[in-house]
Structure 1
Amino acid sequence: MNKVVLVFFFLGICLTTIAQVKKQFPIENSQGGAIKSQDSINTESRKSTSIENLKNPKAKIEDYLIISHANDTTYVDTTLSIQKDYKFNYLRKDNFGLMPFSNLGQTYNSLTYSFENTSLMPGFGAQARHFNYMEIEDINYYRVPTPLTELFFRTAFEQGQLADSFFTVNTSPQFNFSIAYKGMRSLGKYQHILTSTGNFRFTSNYRTKNNRYNIRGHIVTQDLLNQENGGLQDDQVEPFETGEEEFLDRSILEVNFENAESILRGKRFYLDHNYKMFNKVVEKYLPQSLNDSISKSRLVVRHIMSFEDKYFEYDQTSASTAFFGDAFKSSNLKDRATLENFYNQVQLDFYNNVLGSLQFNISHNNYNYGYNKLVVLNGNTITNRLKGNIFAAGGKYHKRYKGFDLQGEFGVNISGDFDGNYLKAHATFKLNDDIGATASINHSSKAPNYNTLLYQSDYLNYNWQNSFNNTETQQFAFKLQYKEYIKLTADFNTVNDYMYFKKDETTQQVQPFQNDKTISYLRFKLENEIKFGNLALNNTILYQNVDDDNNTLNIPEFTTRNTLYYSNHLFKKALYLQTGVTLNYFTKYYMNAYNPLLAEFYVQTDREFGNFPRLDFFINAKIRQTRIYLKAEHFNSAFTGYNYYSAPNNPYRDFTVRFGVVWNFFL
């Protein structure tokens, strides 16, 4: 409790600076980094931004700044592009490589994996429920000349809707705050798969007039509720796949159980502030020759603090022994795993125009994961908590030199129960104004997630206490880009002691295992767009190859998304229209199955899934600052075969028509 009070105290310092909101004032674009458009937008779509509708004639669209966790700065973009269509979904980001379940707000099956990692601590677990869980890196901060509002709406399935409301304002040029809430409720087409989620965000940032002291922070509370049904019963798979008219009403198909639900709930308080100890910068009015000859240096002390409290709970009114095996009790089953994590980091940042940017940091993690009961299994008592303290050290380096942009980063745990380290290096080189290349390497060693080390359940076979090796990964990546026309990325990964879930051969229940073989994983991804006047063909093609003797990392060899669309201005440029068809497809592979008790996907090698096309027809339009989206999803479902699945026994959604809108207000 004292930790929460401490965080609130620091955030309160910011809040006390709030004064009466000023109606309009200009804000300079200075944020310590290059300001760029939020999307790769072609010239025609950029023309659809109605900048003349801004009510403050002194404000420019480039003044409405979005600042990421990593201090990358973009500005608000109200244009309409195909990239915006890809992001118009529940996650509000491009979900290429993810296979959504039938109902909005459920989980996603992963068609590709990234092994780039800079974390030193185990993850919480329940990974299938974290796709919409907003982490520290997902929270942005803002700086705007006038109040800005964004309203997002999209229809759901059967009963419910998805809405995301956002508001931000600068009460002075120095202080900004934002408040946002994303809420969703959807009944779904199948029995007992209702979803209800909420993500509340509050951010604030403040800087002194001389810019020597900067502070920002956020409060995030989240609750993600799913009813769970375990998927279709085995004898219902054939009626679904044959497409019998009687079973086109999906609520008739029988599921494994209708008495369970799971919820992931968390709250986080985050603070990041820094002070410039000295800032020796030559005045801009000096002659350039003198300016170049004198060193520019600064020393910054930075402190980051975060407290997060989260839990995952699975509730079931009566035991489903046919699905999960024997249970300790027959009714009112409840499994709850909790995690409290208090994090502090102190950084010393030094910048010199000759040496570059250097950072050294020391951090402390106080963690407390586990359960509020003891379990005795086969005469052995399973501990109920994993808790302790981890101290770590790290550093960063950044330097621009003769056309190269060089970055390096490392971290290592120096004391505590969990070993861990990582090393990352990144180099970017611009060959000319049109072509750029990036190469990077990443090494990581990290303890497996908490739920693989310790798990307790009212189901007998879902209780374990393990001691696993760290998972070690090495990644070599390369990217080549030519303007906005084509981008090629490739990475090669080796993974040792890979963690996965699979059914135990004895109990036939899902448990964690560790691969004792080295996995080699290669990916090539091509993104390009070809234009023919007002027509365009946008392509994303992913090739993957895995060498894994134990068949624990299963992915499709090819995954592709291709969009053929038409775009043009209509009605004397009062409306900007885009319409077309998108194809999504991936080849057959041993798709992972879903376990709702653990909220984890697990390896299965009984049946391959895939090789079905998904065609979506869309009409998108922009009028002033409003973007309107109408989509006929999976319109080919009735004539290309009912063999589409998000996971074994979990069918993908049928043909449906959905509508949505994004609306920005500049006051």
Structure 2
Amino acid sequence: MQVRRFLLILGFLGLIQSVWSQSTILDDTTKQVYGAKTTRFFLERDLLFNRDTLYMIDTSLNNVHRYDMVQRLDNLYQDLGLMGTAIRSIYYKMPQQIGTTLGMNAYQPYVYSPDKVKYFNTRSPFTHANYAQNTRGNQKIYFRYTRNINENFNVGLHYRRENTFKQFGGQTTRELATDHHSLAIQAAYISKNKRYKLLYHFSHLNQIVFEQGGIQTNAADSNARGEIIADSLFGYEFETPFLGLTARSWQTQNTHHLYQEYRLAKQLQLFHVLHRTRQRDDYEDTGLADDGNLSYYRAFANDNITTGKSPFIYNSTGTSEGFKYWLFDNKAGVKGSIGPIYYQGYVRARQYRLEHSREGQVEAVNVVDTDVITVGGGQITQSTLDSVRTQINTRELETFVGGAFGINFSKRSRLFATAEYALTARSDYRFTANFELGNFKAKAQSVFMTPTLVQQRFTSNHFNWDRRNLNNMLANQAEASFYFRTGGIYLRPFATFTLINDYIYFDTSARPTQANELVQIVSAGLDLHFRWKKLRSETKAIYTQNLGTTEFIRIPSVLATTRLYCEDCVFSKLMHTQIGVEAHYKTSYLADAYMPVSKQFYLQDGLLVPAYPVIDVFINLQIGQVRGFLKMSHVNQPANSGYITTPNFVGMRRAFNLGINWLFFD
């Protein structure tokens, strides 16, 4: 291990030296015409909202050492301790879509959604290459290439691969845990007279996770109250996973997205958005005869199913099942700008289809268990099914109307609002309003939303439910922030209040149910950036309080991330550097557990995730267009201990990380 680490460092430093030598020769003999200042990109929403905005590509050293998804998302998300595993926001996120959605979002942050796709206008070919790895098996490869065919037409592609090895329970220390591939191809065309504009992208996701179900525990690992003792989970290679080597999740997504607009006048444009997605979710486990696998599924079996407390329903030897979901979304409308006013109106038709198939399933449908819960003074009957059809084929068409309105009162004061209403029996709606006045920003959102397809009905060898009579969920959220700068200090206090009626969640049996009381959550936080000479500090801290009597959404009361570094303290004549330390901390809380069969996080009461600081030390460096980093992550790991990300899943142990990030403009 020490030899491998030495060779990695030696190779990395050798590459940096080679790049520096080449950049010196280039600077001495040629003049680079194209570069970061001539390469710009824009987003689809900029065209939609008539914003003449071009963004610069990121060439800074800030956060270069952050390459895994949780760190890239400011440590505000929870995963299973490894890159490429299921991930969710620790804080409640307001739904961005109304109507009936699928609800399998455990890998959604890895997807190239339309709002993330960058459309370029380059005067020269632009290439961005990025590679990172660590000594525990993390590996990330990132590649982007884009170029203009002519002054009006640009094309490009974007590829990312992330994979890692298991941290516990593997037969060897190099056993693959996750394998992620994603690809995006984008094109942008703007006519010479700029009346017609077209954006298109295709994105693909291929996500394979070899599920472990967490670290297996027994009575010796629990206290007198039956709660798991956290310190019993840190045997790493010596721990036994619940699901052994036989369970696997696989998700693929293929998306085609087209945006086009035609300008009749500055005050009036026609626009059209076409979106088509195909998603497949498979789960298989060929080891149901294994005692560990059986004990894992048996913990979630329903006592009232006719098969008794059985860990399976239709197949005693293995599970092989999958969902197929198709979405076709078509939106057309008008928009325009009249002085400081922006307006938009549209009609949207969305058709979806869901199929669920499995091997060896019976045909009859028998309701053998019902629960009655009280919500808002009324009673809802929830059913659990013993057996369901081999094929579930749901096909629906939903129609929406919506629009937007914005007004700029001045350069530093504006109001912008959007609204959408579903012409369906459930009458979903979504409303947002944003207001800015100088350094003050406020946002209000209200969403009335149909339960997801997974919440309504699910069929599996291990879970079967029919909850199509769940009520719509009503969520309201208000946010406010204010920032100011003085000298070397940037300060932004912020606060969020969330109120949810008829909140739908997955309970401790990993099945969907509806809260019978209001969910009320208030959060207050602070972003603080400090600069003094060569010293830099960046901190985010959030305090959260649940105001309800029951915690249906469980959030640590305090979450904080801070980074302290010195900029250009060494080798300043040769390269740009950042040398520093980064720490992330959460107070103890009952973090949600994860169920791979349904790809849902659910409430649990058996393990209090302890408070723990994770500390990294890093060196970021830059020579010309090349950036790189060296990092020792989790440098504070005690012997035979660590931290927990999700119940029965431990975080990455101490590891040496390195990466290189290269920009080309020719």
Instruction: State the TM-score bracket (shorter-chain normalisation).
Output: 0.7 to 0.9
**Distance in 1 (alpha carbons) for counterparts of 2:231 and 2:483:** 45
Residue number in structure 1 paired with 2:511: 511
Aligned to 1:368: 353
Q: What is the alpha-carbon distance in structure 2 between the residues aligned to residue 55 and residue 481 of structure 1?
A: 44
The match for 2:568 is: 568
Q: Which of the residues 198, 209, 212 maps onto 1:226?
A: 209
User: What's the counterpart of residue 99 of structure 1?
Assistant: 78
Instruction: Out of 265-274 and 402-411, give the one that drifted further.
Output: 402-411
Could you say if the C-alpha distance between residues 177 and 392 of structure 1 is closer, same or farther in structure 2, counting changes exceeding 3 Å? Answer: same
Confirm whether residue 346 of structure 1 aligns to residue 332 of structure 2: yes
Q: Does 2:314 align with 1:306?
A: no
Q: Which segments of 5 or more consecutive residues in structure 1 lack a partner in the other structure?
A: 1-47, 280-297, 431-435, 504-508
After superposition, the Cα gap between the structure-2 partners of 1:187 and 1:553, relative to the gap in structure 1 and judged at 3 Å, is same
Structure-2 separation of matches of 1:330 and 1:604 = 27
Structure 2 residue 439 is the aligned partner of structure 1 residue 439: no
Which residue of the other structure, out of 286, 289, 296, is the alignment partner of 1:323?
A: 296
Residues 234 and 650 in structure 2, CA contact (< 8 A), matched pair in contact too = no
Aligned to 1:363, the other structure's residue is in SS state strand
Matching of residues 100-249 of structure 1 within 5 Å: 100-108=79-87, 110-115=89-94, 117-156=95-134, 158-159=136-137, 161-191=139-169, 194-235=177-218, 238=221
CA 1:450 to 1:666, structure 2 compared with 1: closer, same or farther past 3 Å?
same
The CA deviation at 1:106 is 1.4
Quote the Cα distance in structure 1 between the aligned partners of 2:479 and 2:27: 43
Q: Which deviations, in whole Å up to 9, do the C-alpha atoms of 1:464-504 show, x marking residues without a partner?
A: 3432111111111111111471122211110011111113x
Q: What residue is the counterpart of 1:274 in the other structure? A: 261
Name the CA shift for 1:51/1:344 in 2 (closer, same or farther; >3 Å). Answer: farther
SS at match of 1:120: coil
Deviation at 1:188, TM superposition (A): 2.3
- Where does residue 358 of structure 1 map in the other structure? 343
CA 1:659–1:85 in structure 2 vs 1: closer, same or farther (change >3 Å)?
closer
Find the counterpart in structure 1 of residue 37 from structure 2.
Answer: 62
How far apart are residue 657 of structure 1 and its match?
Answer: 1.1
> What SS does the corresponding residue of 2:455 show, helix, strand or coil?
helix
Change (3 A) 1:235 1:156: farther
Task: Describe how 1:468-479 pairs up with structure 2 within 5 A.
Answer: 468-479=470-481
Deviation at 1:535, TM superposition (A): 1.4
Q: Which runs of 5+ in 2 are unaligned?
A: 1-22, 47-52, 171-175, 223-227, 299-309, 368-384
Q: Choose which of 424, 429, 432 in structure 2 pairs with 1:424.
A: 432
Counterpart residue identity of residue 220, structure 1: S
Does the CA-based 8 Å contact 1:393-1:413 persist in structure 2? yes
- Greater CA deviation, 516-525 or 561-570? 561-570
Contact 1:51 1:61 in 2 (8 A): no
Which residue among 406, 415, 420 is the counterpart of 1:398? 406
- Residue 543 (str. 1) matches residue 543 (str. 2): yes
Shift of 1:627: 1.1
Match of 2:366 among 378, 381, 388: 378
1:405 Cα deviation after fit? 1.1
2:491 corresponds to: 486
**1:661 shift after superposition:** 1.3
Aligned partners of 1:510 and 1:166: how far apart in 2?
A: 40
Whether the aligned pair in 2 keeps the contact of 1:109 and 1:647 (CA below 8 Å) is no
* Mean Cα deviation higher: 487-496 or 185-194: 185-194
**What is the DSSP-based 3-state SS (H/G/I as helix, E as strand, rest coil) of the residue aligned with 1:209?**
coil
Cα distance change on mapping 1:54 and 1:519 into 2, 3 Å? farther
Task: Give the match's secondary structure for 1:510.
Answer: coil
Structure 1 pair 121–242 and aligned structure 2 pair: CA distance change class (3 A): closer
**Could you tell me how far apart the structure 2 residues matched to 1:656 and 1:616 are?**
10
1:486 is matched by which residue type in structure 2?
A: L
| Structure 1 consecutive aligned stretches of length 4 or more whose deviation exceeds 6 Å | 50-56, 239-244
Q: CA deviation at 1:425?
A: 1.0
* Matched-pair contact (CA < 8 Å) for 2:135–2:656: no
Deviation at 1:377, TM superposition (A): 4.4
1: CA distance, partners of 2:664 / 2:243: 46
Letter in 2 for 1:410: A
| Identity within the alignment, % | 18
Change (3 A) 1:624 1:375: farther
Report the residue type matching 1:77 in the other structure.
Answer: D
C-alpha distance in 2 between matches for 1:144 and 1:92: 30
Deviation at 1:534, TM superposition (A): 1.1
Partners of 1:360 and 1:197 lie apart in 2 by 38
Distance 1:409 1:235, change over 3 A: same
What's the CA shift string for 1:254-301, capped at 9, x where partnerless? Answer: 11122100011110001000101124xxxxxxxxxxxxxxxxxx2100
Q: Deviation of residue 241 (structure 1)? A: 7.2
Count of aligned positions:
582
Asked if structure 1 preserves the Cα contact closer than 8 Å seen for 2:234 and 2:642, the reply is no
Q: Which amino acid aligns with 1:426?
A: N
Change (3 A) 1:177 1:237: farther
- The 1:647/1:164 distance shift into structure 2, 3 A limit, reads same
Give me the whole-angstrom Cα distance separating, in 2, the residues matched to 1:414 and 1:261: 39
Contact persistence 1:109–1:592 (CA under 8 A): no
Relative to structure 1, the CA distance from residue 150 to residue 227 in structure 2 (aligned partners, 3 Å threshold; closer, same or farther) is: same
* Matched residue SS, 2:598: coil
Instruction: Give the letter for the 1:162 counterpart.
Output: K
TM-aligned CA deviation for residue 409 of structure 1:
0.6
Aligned counterparts of 2:286 and 2:230: Cα–Cα separation in 1: 33
Shift of 1:182: 0.4
Q: Contact (CA 8 Å) 2:79, 2:646: kept in 1 or not? A: no
- Structure 1 residue 84: Cα displacement: 4.1
Q: 1:191 to 1:566 in 2, by over 3 A?
A: same
- Is the contact between residue 574 and residue 624 of structure 1 (CA under 8 Å) also seen in structure 2? no
* CA distance in structure 1 between the partners assigned to 2:657 and 2:626 by the alignment: 17
2:127, 2:109 → 1: CA distance?
25
Aligned-pair CA distance for 1:437: 0.9
Cross-structure match for 1:500:
505
Paired amino acid for 1:485:
Y
* In structure 1, distance between residues paired with 2:152 and 2:219: 61
2: CA distance, partners of 1:466 / 1:156? 46
Q: CA deviation at 1:370?
A: 3.1
Q: How far does residue 609 in structure 1 lie from its aligned partner after superposition?
A: 1.3
CA distance in 2, matches of 1:52, 1:212: 41
2:408 maps to amino acid: R
Query: Alpha-carbon deviations, 1:326-358, whole Å to 9, x = none?
Result: 31112231121121000000020121115x111
Say if 1:469 and 1:516 are closer, same or farther in 2 by CA, change over 3 A. same
In the aligned structure 2, how far is the partner of 1:523 from the partner of 1:501? Answer: 23
Q: Deviations over 1:406-449 (max 9, x none)?
A: 1011000013x55310111111111xxxxx11112111111122
Structure-1 separation of matches of 2:287 and 2:607: 30
What's 1:11 paired with? none
Q: How does 1:34-73 map to 2 (within 5 A)?
A: 57-59=32-34, 61-71=36-46, 73=54
Q: CA deviation at 1:54?
A: 13
CA distance in 2, matches of 1:169, 1:445: 43
Change (3 A) 1:420 1:603: same
> Partners of 2:426 and 2:206 in 1: how far apart?
29
For 1:54 and 1:592, how far apart are their aligned partners in 2?
A: 59
